[in-house]
Chain A
Amino acid sequence: KQEVTQIPAALSVPEGENLVLNCSFTDSAIYNLQWFRQDPGKGLTSLLLIQSSQREQTSGRLNASLDKSSGRSTLYIAASQPGDSATYLCAGLNTGNQFYFGTGTSLTVIP
């Protein structure tokens, strides 16, 4: 079974800082990797999807990279804003269409 780990579990940064969230997975045979944002009491919002043949994806201030050989993905957030405060989840999709989620990184951006 795929195990997904996210480090750190919680992060607090001042507004304007650049930051990196880490995701590691045990089974490199993933189909794709997706980063989500979850606000309290809400569902998941897809941020970036990286297919297994890709190395990275960018959307605005967000950049996600995938290194299948080392079993790692990172989410880079540039110039953080208070509105970025949320829990960030990574999930790896196996060929059986099962998504394995990490436990998330809770981000607080202090104004």
Chain B
Amino acid sequence: GAGVSQSPRYKVAKRGQDVALRCDPISGHVSLFWYQQALGQGPEFLTYFQNEAQLDKSGLPSDRFFAERPEGSVSTLKIQRTQQEDSAVYLCASSLSSGRPYNEQFFGPGTRLTVL
């Protein structure tokens, strides 16, 4: 595709609900990243995939957060039993490779999650 796309763009969930956020990276991009951006803050790293392998999940805030990329393209970030503190914009980014000079990251528009 022309760029990274994310869906839904907006999600409102009641506390305790499970949500699934989707990311379609740029076609052919090997690396995929998820970030969480709270209001007024910079994005914070959540997790990183290289193809289908999740190489780093150190930024996931709790075991309620789970990400997958089973076929090495589309990725889903799942949040179970949502809490109010999960309210944020979730950004997805992809890059052609993890190695220079192809590691420039391109971001999607984000999914704004509001937990009531």
Contact = CB atoms under 8 A, between A and B. Distances in A.
Nearest to A90: B42
Interface stretch (B11-19, B43-51, B60-68, B80-88): B43-51
A51 B101 contact: yes
Contacts, number: 66
A46 B107 CA distance: 8
Nearest to B111: A43
| Chain B CB within 10 A, most for which of A4, A45, A97 | A97
A44 B107 contact: yes
Interface size band for B:
20 to 34
Nearest to B59: A98
Interface string A54-71: 000000000000000000
A97 B50 CA distance: 10
A34 B109 CA distance: 18
Contacts of B112: 41
Interface size band for A:
20 to 34
Contacts of A13: none
A89 interface: yes
A80 interface: no
30 contacts: A31-B100, A32-B100, A32-B104, A43-B4, A43-B91, A43-B107, A43-B109, A44-B43, A44-B91, A45-B107, A46-B104, A46-B105, A46-B106, A49-B104, A89-B42, A93-B105, A97-B31, A97-B33, A97-B56, A97-B98, A97-B103, A98-B45, A98-B56, A98-B58, A99-B43, A99-B93, A101-B35, A101-B43, A103-B41, A104-B42
Interface of A: 4, 31-32, 34, 36, 41-46, 49, 51, 89, 91, 93, 96-104
